[in-house]
Amino acid sequence: MLGLYEVFYAATIFLRLITWGIVLYCVLSWFRPNFQAFFWLRRFIQPFVSPFQRLSMKVMRHFNAPVDLTMLFAVLGYQLLARLLWRLYLILARAL
C-alpha cells in the first residue's frame, strides 16, 4: 500500500508532466507543427489547459492584448497547485 508521501510525490510528478507538456507544446507551436507527435501532445494537454482559457480571454479583453496567455496561466496555475499540494502534505504529516 502506498504511503502518504508516495501519493503526494506521484501527484507532483503528474503536475510536472503536465507543465513540461505545455512548455513543449508552446515551443513546438513556434515551428511548423505538422507532425503526429504535435497533434498527440495537443490532445494530451487540451483538457488541462481549457480551464484557463476563460481567465485568459478576460485578461485579453481588459488589456486589449493580442496575445493569448492561456498557456502561461496554465503553467503558473499548475506550479501553484504543486506548491499547495506539498503544503497540504506537511499539514497532514504533522497531524498524523
Q: What was the pLDDT predicted at 69? A: 92
Q: What was the pLDDT predicted at 1? A: 55
What pTM was estimated for this model as a whole? 0.88
**CB–CB of 78/58 below 8 Å?**
no
Cα–Cα distances in angstroms (integers) from residue 34 to residues 24, 25, 37, 49, in the given order: 15, 12, 9, 21
Q: What was the pLDDT predicted at 65? A: 86
pLDDT tens sequence for the chain (96 residues) = 579 999 999 999 999 999 999 999 999 888 877 888 888 999 999 999 999 999 999 999 999 989 889 999 999 999 999 999 999 999 999 998
What residues does each domain of the chain span? 4-95
